Structure 1
Amino acid sequence: MIKKEEMPLCDVATTVQLVGSKWKLLIIRDLISGPKRTSQLKRSLSGVSQKVLTESLSSMIEDGLVDRIDLKKVPPHVEYQLTPLGESFLPVIESMRQWGKYYKSQL
């Protein structure tokens, strides 16, 4: 997790630092509906490489936005879900969705 003293002074910059990549925003969007396996996320995120997906998930886990759940099955079964902190970002995602819809209607 980023230490408080390492965070930008600007609150918007802090948010961008945590979820500013296209892939992180789309991972949050996909996890809104519940836990997902890596393969489910990869299918949904058209164009993401396995490396970028893995790095994004690891970063989001480290930042406290996502939990990795090891279901201890054979074959190995891991899922990812939003933490309560990650779920607190949902109104931002919804605002982005609404603005995107509005923008498309203006074209």
Structure 2
Amino acid sequence: MGITHFQIDDGWQSGRSANSAFAGGTLTKIWDNPNYWKPDPVKFPHGLGVVVQRGKALGINVCLWFNPSKDDSYAHWQNDAEALISLYKNYGINTFKIDGVQVTDKKAK
């Protein structure tokens, strides 16, 4: 089919977003859960490494959905950046769909 990239959308992570099919999701106070941006252990019991390796074997770059924490005009941007860097270091994931960003004031720039 010529697929070069495959994005795993919302739901790969341990935390539940506001868009989750399951109740209790949020896009605020996500850093109250230090495992929010870790792979969901039920959906990915062996982490994302196996998925990324298989993608590489097939010539497909595995990409992930990511929604930064909106709290206090993105005050946790450093935590968000570290989460992305960690996913890169741990799994080699280098492409992310950054979603849901709404810059509503000068502080959020």
Q: TM-score, normalised by structure 1?
A: 0.26
Q: Judging by fraction of residues, say which structure has more helix.
A: 1
TM-score w.r.t. length of structure 2? 0.26
